[in-house]
Amino acid sequence: MGRFRSNAIAALWIIVAAVAYFLAAEVGLRMALVSDQVTPLWPPTGVALACLFLLGLRAWLGITVGALAVNALIGPNLPAVLMIAVGNTAAPVVAYLLLKRVRFRSDFNTVRDALELVFLGALAAMLISATVGSVTLVVAGAVPARGFWGTWSVWWTGDAMGVLLIAPLILVAARARRPKVLEPLRVLEATVLAVGTFLVAVSATAVSANLLFLVFPFLIWAAMRFHLAGALPCALIASIVAIFAAARNWPAFAGLDLTTKMITLQAFNGSVALTALLYATITAQRDRARKVVDDTCAELARTVLMISQGRPLTGVVDTAHRLQSQHPHRPPPPQE
């Protein structure tokens, strides 16, 4: 009975991963710039990587099912659908294995974790899905041969943006705990940040792409005050607004060819993603270090007071061990 229940729970989570992938793809396809299926932001890749970290390697089956379902609706033919699904599954699985290899921690305790996600999870692993998918579309005749590099660049950067914007947001949300007391001013501040980012991004794309830099003060503000929980949603809002503006040729992107549009768009998306991820991680790491220093100073003052009063130093050693545990060091990677 216990084995049956365990298998049923595993099957349920696989179905959840497949449904999440499919729904995320439906959102991503509404931002397509090439062949109605290549988008500058592909959320399913981030969803897939997050599912692998939350559910384990068994989630690959759900990712494959979701990818097959999505591509069956838009793919040019069955062989192409199968190949694209293979690429869409292989990329997040390889990203997961690479990150596990270097002992990546999904709580983003250090800047190293953020950089590992950028270079291994996003830039390196997503070469697989972009290459497999673009070659498949060219072979199937859905994209002309001269359009390969344009399709490949959109596919690669779209998958990378999905990893950088969606995966950390899900992983952070999975670890979040509702505060016992909601502070009205904090809620108001978070609302102002989200709404302000949206309004500034919309206003900038309605005038000129040069004004998009005005969202960065909001990203920095969110990172300083709310860390990843605030910076990532603001970055996602700005990115989605810019993508919709580019897809619909709003004034900021009007008259630009696909290459120029993609360079402008993905330079902005990459900048907001990296700013949110790295600045929020650095700020959180600094705040944790400051707290450790403050706690250590308070304990030192307590120790000095106890010595001056001739009292025994009870609990000092236990407190020192507790403070050390709050600032652990990453263990070295396994040796071959």
**DSSP result, 100-120:** HHTT--TT--SHHHHHHIIII
* Judgement on whether residues 25 and 161 belong to the same structural domain of the protein: yes
Lowest-confidence region among 168-182, 207-221, 239-253: 168-182
Domain boundary among 125, 159, 177: 177
Domain boundary among 177, 201, 232: 177
Name every residue whose Cβ is closer than 8 Å to that of residue 213 and which is 6 or more positions away in sequence: none
Question: For 215-260, what is each residue's pLDDT tens digit?
Answer: 999 999 999 999 999 999 999 999 999 988 888 888 888 888 877 8
Position 135 in a domain: yes
pLDDT given for residue 114 in this prediction: 92
Confidence of residue 336 (pLDDT cuts 50, 70, 90): very low
pLDDT at 326 over 70: no
Cα separation, 94 vs 80, in Å, equals: 21
Position 304 in a domain: yes
pLDDT given for residue 314 in this prediction: 59
* Judgement on whether residues 1 and 150 belong to the same structural domain of the protein: yes
Longest Cα–Cα distance of the chain, Å, equals 86
Position 251 in a domain: no
pLDDT given for residue 321 in this prediction: 55
pLDDT given for residue 248 in this prediction: 83
Question: For 112-151, what is each residue's pLDDT tens digit?
Answer: 999 999 999 999 999 999 999 999 989 988 888 888 887 8
pLDDT at 334 over 60: no
CB 124 within 8 A of CB 85: no
Q: What percent of the chain has pLDDT over 90?
A: 48
Position 42 in a domain: yes
pLDDT given for residue 232 in this prediction: 94
* Judgement on whether residues 36 and 170 belong to the same structural domain of the protein: yes
pLDDT given for residue 142 in this prediction: 83
Confidence of residue 315 (pLDDT cuts 50, 70, 90): low
Lowest-confidence region among 226-235, 291-300, 319-328: 319-328
Confidence of residue 189 (pLDDT cuts 50, 70, 90): very high
Tally of structural domains, the chain: 2
Position 183 in a domain: no
pLDDT given for residue 135 in this prediction: 93
Q: What percent of the chain has pLDDT over 70?
A: 90
pLDDT at 176 over 90: no
pLDDT at 331 over 60: no
For 175-216, the three-class secondary structure string (H helix, E strand, C coil) is HCCCCCCCCHHHHHHHHHHHHHHHHHHHHHHCCCHHHHHHHH
Lowest-confidence region among 26-30, 88-92, 187-191, 320-324: 320-324
Name the DSSP class of 147: G
| Mean confidence (pLDDT) of the chain | 86
pLDDT given for residue 13 in this prediction: 84
**Residue 134: CATH number of its domain:** 1.10.1760
CB 316 within 8 A of CB 299: yes
CB 203 within 8 A of CB 150: no
Domain boundary among 134, 149, 177: 177
CB 242 within 8 A of CB 265: yes
- For 97-123, what is the mean pLDDT? 92
- For 207-222, what is the mean pLDDT? 90
Phi, psi (5° rounding) for residue 34?
A: -130, 125
* Judgement on whether residues 33 and 166 belong to the same structural domain of the protein: yes
* Judgement on whether residues 8 and 135 belong to the same structural domain of the protein: yes
Confidence of residue 40 (pLDDT cuts 50, 70, 90): confident
pLDDT at 41 over 80: yes
Residue where the block lists tokens 């988008």: 39
pLDDT at 188 over 90: yes
Using CB atoms within 10 Å of the CB of residue 90, give its burial: 0 to 12 exposed, 13 to 18 middle, 19+ buried: middle
pLDDT given for residue 36 in this prediction: 60
Position 75 in a domain: yes
pLDDT at 198 over 50: yes
Domain that holds residue 309: 290-325
Position 188 in a domain: no
Position 101 in a domain: yes
pLDDT given for residue 37 in this prediction: 59
pLDDT given for residue 21 in this prediction: 94
Lowest-confidence region among 6-15, 40-49, 95-104, 286-295: 6-15
pLDDT greater at residue 291 or residue 304: 291
